[in-house]
Amino acid sequence: MKNGVLRMWAVGLFFMLLAVMPVGAKQPVKNVVLMIGDGMGLAHVTSLMIDRKYQPIQMERAQAVGLVKTYSANNRVTDSAASATAYATGKKTDNSKLGVDPEGNPMETILEKAVEEGMATGVVVTTFLPHATPAAFFAHVNKRYDYSDIAAQFVESGITVAMGGGRDHFTKRDDNRDLLQELEQKGYLVVDSVEKLDEVTSGRTVAIYPTKKGGLPGPPERGDYLPDATAKMLEILGNSSKKGFFAMIEGSDIDHASHANEIEEVIAEMRDFDRAVGVAFDYADEHPGTLVIVLADHETGGLALASNEEDFTQSESGIKYCFSTGGHSGVMIPLFAYGAGADTFGRVLDNTEVNRLMCEILGLE
C-alpha cells in the first residue's frame, strides 16, 4: 500500500514536471533565411574587416560560425549551379547542372517543399532572376545557361516573392510568351523596382528590374537596393503565411567582382551584402523563431591578403590583395548563423548537410 502511494506521487510529479517544462529546450524554428555571398571566401570577409578598420561588421554578430565544404559531383572546384543545387536539394550534382542529379533527373528543392507545405517563399538577388544561384531553388535544367526555360519554370514555381534583374528573359522571348503577364494572371503583383512596394505588406509579389538580360548595376549605382529588398521581402513573407517561410538572398556580384580581380569592387559588394545581413539579423531579433544562415557557394579569385613586405619582422607597410585565379577556388567557405537554432550550424559541414539541417529544422521531408 505504502509503495502504491509513493508510486502515485512519483507519477504525479513526473507529469507536473512535463507540464511546466518548455517543449524542448530549443526554440522552434519557423522561418529560415539563407544568405549567399556568391564567391565570398574568408579573405573576402577579412577584406571587409580591414576596410572597416576592424570595427565589428554585421556578420560578427553571428552566434555560431562554421566552415563548409563546397566540392561538386564532378569537380573539387564547384560552380554556382552545382553548389546552389546542393544547398537547395541536399544532393551534389555536376558543375553547370541546376536542380537535377548528374544523370539529369529532377531533385525537389527546399523551396518547392516549403511551397507544398503552404509556407511562404522568396528570393532576392542583385543578378538577374534566372541566374544560377536563384534558379537552383525553383528550376530543373541540365544547362545553367538555359535562361529561357528557367524563366518559364519560375512562373510555375509557386514562389511568393522574387526581386532581381533581367526583365527581358520574361518578355522578349523566342516563344513570344509574356511571362510577366502570365504571372499577373496567377495573382502576382508585378512591379519594376522595390520602391514601388512601399504600400505592399503581403501576397504574391515580383519586383523585376528592366535591366535587359543582365543584373542590377554595382554599388553605388544600385543604392540601397539589397538591404531594402531584403527588408521588404522579409516583411511580405512574414505576413503571407502563418506556417512560416523560406527565403534566399544573394549578394550575387561579389563573385563577378572577384572574377574580374577588382578588389575595390569586391569590397564595395561586401559592404553592401553585410548591410543586408544586418537587416536579416535585425528581423530575427524582432521575430523569434527566425534563423539566418550566411554563407557562400564557393570562393572566387583565390584571394589572399599578403603583407606588402615579406619580411614580417618589420612594421606593416600595407596589404597586398593577391588574386590567384580569374575563376573559383576549392577552399572551404565560412558560415555565420544567427537566431533560433543557430548553434546547429557551428561546425564543419558539407554543403549538402546545410540543406538537410534546414529541412529538418523546418520539418520539411
Binding interface with Zn ion (CB under 5 A): 255, 300
Q: At 298, list the grid cell.
A: 564557393
**Beta strands in 80-181, from DSSP E residues, in sequence order:** 120-128, 161-165
> Among 231, 342, 276, which Cα is nearest to 36's?
276
3-class secondary-structure state, position 235: helix
Please state whether beta strands 348-350 and 161-165 pair in parallel, antiparallel, or not at all (unpaired). unpaired
What is the DSSP code string of 116-136? HTT-EEEEEEEEETTSHHHHH
Of residues 94 and 255, the one with the C-beta less far from Zn ion: 255
Of residues 84 and 342, the one with the C-beta less far from Zn ion: 84
What distance, in Å, lies between the first and last C-alpha atoms of the chain?
A: 49
Q: Which residues are tagged catalytic?
A: 80
Of residues 233 and 270, the one with the C-beta less far from Zn ion: 270
| Chain CA centroid to CA 63, Å | 17
Of residues 27 and 75, the one with the C-beta less far from Zn ion: 75
At its nearest, how many Å lie between Zn ion and the CB of residue 157? Answer: 24
350: DSSP letter: E
Q: Which residue is nearest to Zn ion (CB)?
A: 255
> Among 167, 91, 179, 177, which Cα is nearest to 136's?
91
At its nearest, how many Å lie between Zn ion and the CB of residue 259? Answer: 6
Q: At 320, list the grid cell.
A: 597586398
At its nearest, how many Å lie between Zn ion and the CB of residue 255? Answer: 4
At its nearest, how many Å lie between Zn ion and the CB of residue 71? Answer: 15
